[in-house]
Structure 1
Amino acid sequence: MKYFAVFLPMLDEEKSKHYRPDHLSYLEEKSNEGKIFAKGRFTDGTGGLVIYKANDLSEAEEMAKLDPYVAKGARNYEIREWDMVVTKS
């Protein structure tokens, strides 16, 4: 399993507010499937980040495109494979 960081920059704030419940429901569904490592909004209001777990880029991109924020034009997306490094304290 690979990790993919999906940045969700704001395109339309009103659409984002409108589709927020659908977006959160979608993320909950993906989380229950074990497909999300982490998620959250940027505190400056410019968008958010979801780190998906997927077999390859095409699977991660498909999940990103099906997010209601993206599908309904509230957010754009930018995706990068992420190589997580864990450090010991």
Structure 2
Amino acid sequence: MARFVVQLAFDGDPRRLAVRPAHREHLRGLHDQGRLVTAGPWADDSGALHVYEAADEGEVRDILRSDPYTAVNGYEVVLLKEWTPIL
């Protein structure tokens, strides 16, 4: 397994806020499965940072496709990159 960092940008569309509870529940499920290491929005709610455990980038893209935010085009992927943490 590898770690991947995903940076998201939000556009302020109110449809995203309507599905936020489902999005957060989805993230909790991924965390419980060990697939999501950590996630959270920027303090100004302009986007978010997620760190995933996955076999490859394709798996991360599949995870993103299953996110409730995807159904309402609630974000843009700014960065999706494999990460090698040292600490």
Deviations 1:60-88 (A, max 9, x none): 111012111123211122311111121xx
Larger radius of gyration: 1
- How many residues in Structure 1 have an aligned counterpart in Structure 2? 86
The aligned counterpart of 2:37 is 37
Residue 72 (str. 1) matches residue 72 (str. 2): yes
TM-score, normalized by length of structure 2? 0.89
Larger deviation: 39-48 or 4-13? 4-13
Counterpart residue number, 1:16: 16
Aligned residues: percent identity? 27
Structure 1 outlier segments of 4+, above 3 Å? none
Amino acid at match of 1:22: A
Which sections of structure 2, spanning at least 5 residues, go unmatched? none
- Secondary structure of 1:7's counterpart equals strand
Which has the larger share of strand?
2
Letter in 2 for 1:82: W
CA RMSD of aligned residues (A): 1.3
Deviation at 1:12?
A: 3.5
Indicate the residue corresponding to 2:84 in structure 1: 83
TM superposition score normalised by structure 1: 0.87
Matches within 5 A, 1:42-53: 42-53=42-53
Aligned partners of 1:7, 1:15: CA distance in 2, in Å?
20
